Amino acid sequence: MFDLIVRGGTLPDGRVADIGIRGDRIAAVEPRIDAEAGAVIDAAGDLVSPPFVDPHFHMDATLSYGTPRVNASGTLLEGISLWGELRDLATVDEMVERALTYCDWAASMGLLAIRSHVDTTPDHLNTVTAMLEVCDKVRDYIDLQLVAFPQDGLYRAPNGRENVIRALDMGVDVVGGIPHFERTMTDGAASLKDLCEIAAQRGLMVDIHCDETDDPMSRHIETLAYETQRLGLQGRVAGSHLTSMHSMDNYYVSKLLPLIAEAGIAAIPNPLINIVLQGRHDSYPKRRGLTRVKEMQSHGIPVGWGQDCVLDPWYSLGTADMLDVAFMGLHVAQMTHPDEMARCFTMVTETNAAIIGLEDYGIRPGALASLVVLDAATPTEALRLRASRLAVISKGKVIARGPRGDAGLNVPGRPATVRRRQP
């Protein structure tokens, strides 16, 4: 007897299976389960995936687009300046409400685990108070992991370092930083040494906004790799963005990639935001600014796509759809080989789950019963269609249902409905 059976779906690896769920756990994954169930979801012909995971987001700023103004230049720096105003205007309740609305969107999209950076710059730390409250409120259906993020610099902001420590003491999970925004390259390097030591002492993970610039001399990733190695933090550190690597000298990168791999650092490019923010100071040719995704992967470096922003001072679009993120990444990184397209789907599911350290993730007996049924036959088709979510199951409960992406058609001699699946 199962509480729920998801019947006949195609798993991302191509197997067709029934998935039996008891309580909040997957109890069986078999070609055919002949047993009673409290409820059954028919997934025949549809893709059944573990949930989407976003390893890089800003939940404190989300859904604030246009407040207090839109970002007229479209640059990172104007976005930081706008956010600097907004974070002192917004109340805790307003930030909680916006974040909860975003989590509704995420739940409906099967996005069930999110790592969010939380700005620790303002002394009031309302951002941290609000996001800790959101963590508690969504705990039953979304795993929200928080990063203490000194947006205005660990040393550049008056109480930058002290406030990171306060946020960690309040219960924030991960140590963040922004070395390229410190006053000098030397301060940037010193901030990484400091932050990695804090993480080592406290047994925490590290996720750095690292080299989010077009300046090829922004080489903080080198320092991050060194400190990770020195302090034995392998497997616990991520470099987010790494966009300067796009513009670096190829000879230098040939030395750098093995150092990143040796340090066990994961990379989190954010293609939606990177393609709109980078290259803004260029005329033509205009650089894409995405980091070297395929080259990293060929060195064994884990790379996962992050979303970063939805409707905030930096990005004016977004729907909490990690398939949008992977779709953009696929294009900008030119990952068009069939294996690469399929990998882009893995990069917003399994790879991201591993990067943020999710336990009990996946489609196997004993794992958490969190699944998404998609209106697509394969992972690549899910990307092509940005497929509709037919059902979202979180920890054993069906939390969202949606219609197929079909449309009615009124064309003489042609079918009455159209479904854009590959024939």
- Just list the catalytic residues: 212
> Could you please report the per-residue DSSP string of 164-233?
HHHHHHHT--EEEE-GGGSSSHHHHHHHHHHHHHHHHHHT-EEEEEE--SS-TT--HHHHHHHHHHHTT-
**Strands (E) located in 242-285:** 266-268
Distance in Å, CB of 404 to Zn ion, minimum:
34
Task: Locate 71 and state its tokens.
Answer: 């970002």
Would you call the peptide bond into 55 cis, given omega within 30 degrees of 0 as the criterion? no
Distance in Å, CB of 178 to Zn ion, minimum:
9
Three-state secondary structure call for residue 356: coil
> Could you please report the per-residue DSSP string of 39-95?
EEEE-TTSEEEPPEEEEEE-TTTTT-TTSS---SS--HHHHHHHHHHHHHHS-HHHH
Count of residues making up the chain: 423
Distance in Å, CB of 243 to Zn ion, minimum:
11
Residues 9 and 17: their CA atoms lie apart, in Å, by 6
**Which lies closer to Zn ion via its Cβ, residue 240 or residue 394?**
240
**Which lies closer to Zn ion via its Cβ, residue 308 or residue 312?**
308
**Which lies closer to Zn ion via its Cβ, residue 29 or residue 273?**
273
Label residues 255-293 b or e (16+ Cβ within 10 Å = b).
ebbebbbebbbbbbbbbbbbbbbbbbeeeeeeebbbbbb
**Which lies closer to Zn ion via its Cβ, residue 152 or residue 308?**
308
Binding pattern for the stretch 300-329 against Zn ion, x by CB under 5 A and - elsewhere: --------x---------------------
The DSSP code for 247 is G
Q: Are strands 143-149 and 174-177 parallel, antiparallel or unpaired?
A: parallel
**Which lies closer to Zn ion via its Cβ, residue 73 or residue 422?**
73
How many amino acids of this chain bind Zn ion (CB under 5 A)?
A: 1
Distance in Å, CB of 80 to Zn ion, minimum:
10
Binding pattern for the stretch 260-299 against Zn ion, x by CB under 5 A and - elsewhere: ----------------------------------------
Which residues are 76's β-sheet partners?
A: none
The CA-based dihedral angle spanning residues 394, 386, 116, 311, taken in that order and rounded to the nearest 10 degrees: -120
Question: Quick check: 347 and 389 in contact, CB under 8 A?
Answer: no
Question: Quick check: 299 and 269 in contact, CB under 8 A?
Answer: no
**Which lies closer to Zn ion via its Cβ, residue 60 or residue 308?**
308
Three-state secondary structure call for residue 9: strand
Distance in Å, CB of 58 to Zn ion, minimum:
6
Residues 113 and 130: their CA atoms lie apart, in Å, by 18
Distance in Å, CB of 421 to Zn ion, minimum:
35
Residues of this chain that bind Zn ion (CB under 5 A): 308
